[in-house]
Amino acid sequence: MSKHNNNVGYTGIYNVLLDDVMPNLSPPAYIVLVIICRMTIGWVTDRESNTRKFKDTISQQQIADLSPYNRLATIAEAIDELSGKKIIKVEGSAKRLKTYSLNMEAIIKLQNESVTYEYEQKWADREESESTHTVDST
């Protein structure tokens, strides 16, 4: 049971991350991305206005403590994977303490590409469906 059981909350994760990004990540990168989402957009700073954080300074040890991975090298590799795929932004020069945020520009671009693909696929399916219907003129 959660240690915060008196505070029923949730972390909204963008659909494009769940649908398009996460299936293509290694398991450690998947977990680290969920943790970064929780520590940023999932963290409400003001309940009345529902203001959320967009970035947070998190140590690799904090991430490891929240994940099933206890090797900091595994966490660092996951962060490098996410950063390399431009899903997160990493700021700071400290070795193990950095500021993380979701790369919203990349996420919005992925979302737009996903919506465009879905629209094009539905249109192609519709055209194919209409072309297979023949009218008997006899």
Percent of the chain at pLDDT above 90?
A: 44
CB 69 within 8 A of CB 31: yes
Predicted pLDDT at 112: 82
Domain residue spans of the chain: 15-103
Q: Give the pLDDT confidence score for residue 125 in this predicted structure.
A: 72
pTM of the model: 0.74
What is the distance between the alpha carbons of residues 39 and 67, in angstroms, rounded to a whole number?
13
Q: DSSP assignment, residue 20?
A: I
pLDDT grade for 8, boundaries at 50, 70 and 90: low
CATH code of the domain made up of 15-103:
1.10.10.10
Six-digit token pair at 18?
């769940």
pLDDT tens, 51-82?
888 899 999 999 999 999 999 999 999 999 99
Alpha helices by DSSP H, 1-138: 15-16, 27-39, 60-66, 72-84, 104-132
Using CB atoms within 10 Å of the CB of residue 115, give its burial: 0 to 12 exposed, 13 to 18 middle, 19+ buried: exposed
